[in-house]
Amino acid sequence: MKKINHLFIFVTLICSFITIFSEFDKGIVIILKDASIVLTLLFPYILNKLFKLDIGESLILIWIIFIFMAHYLGVICEFYNKWEMFDKVTHTFSGVLSSGVAVLILNKVKSKNILFNIIFILSFSLMCAALWEMFEFTCNALFGGDAQRVALTGVSDTMWDMIVAFFGSIFVSFFYYLKKE
């Protein structure tokens, strides 16, 4: 699995650098936005090193796929603007990813209460979705833009983002329950 993760990282970085070099004429803000994929892609490895965590290669693979979807395809290649449902697919996957992090936390604390664990997984995922939407809102307020598409949808886009993330966490919770029972 580690070799697969490294291959996906390599491919994502190559694709990103090709795109970045093709956008040099668009200004430093665009270049920095595109180049930030390096840090976000390597984030699990940085966490592993700094905090001596064992995130696990399967969760890292989910992270890499998520970053490829959300950052490379969504932001750099502008799929968010080209395919309306791309945002919902990405937010559903974020619910799966944040639920995986919740399971990792539960494994570290060795909680045995299945009902508590499922509520924790769902709550953790909803918290991550809400924090992300607050981050988007703050960036929109500070720097302009409309990442939440408020002008077009009111609060519908934000609410649907949180709902589909919740569906992703329900999916993980279901399989978590089956595995633990």
pLDDT in tens, 120-149: 999 999 999 999 889 888 877 777 777 667
Are residue 96 and residue 65 in the same domain, yes or no? no
Domain shared by 34 and 57, yes or no: yes
Question: What single-letter amino acid sits at 11?
Answer: V
Q: Answer yes or no: do 50 and 102 share one domain.
A: no
Whether residue 70 sits in one domain with residue 121: no
Closest CA to 35 of 21, 20, 14: 20
Distance CA 154, CA 94 (A): 22
Q: Is the pLDDT of residue 155 over 90?
A: no
Number of domains in the chain: 2
The model carries a pTM of 0.80
Query: Checking phi first, is residue 111 left (phi over 0); if not, alpha (psi -120 to 50) or beta?
Result: beta
Q: What is the mean pLDDT of residues 149-160?
A: 78
Q: Are residues 122 and 61 in the same domain?
A: no
What is the residue-averaged pLDDT of the chain? 87
Rounded to whole angstroms, the Cα distance separating 167 from 165 reads 5
Residues 112 and 35 in one domain: no
For residues 51 and 73, the model is more confident at: 73
Range of the domain at 181: 84-181
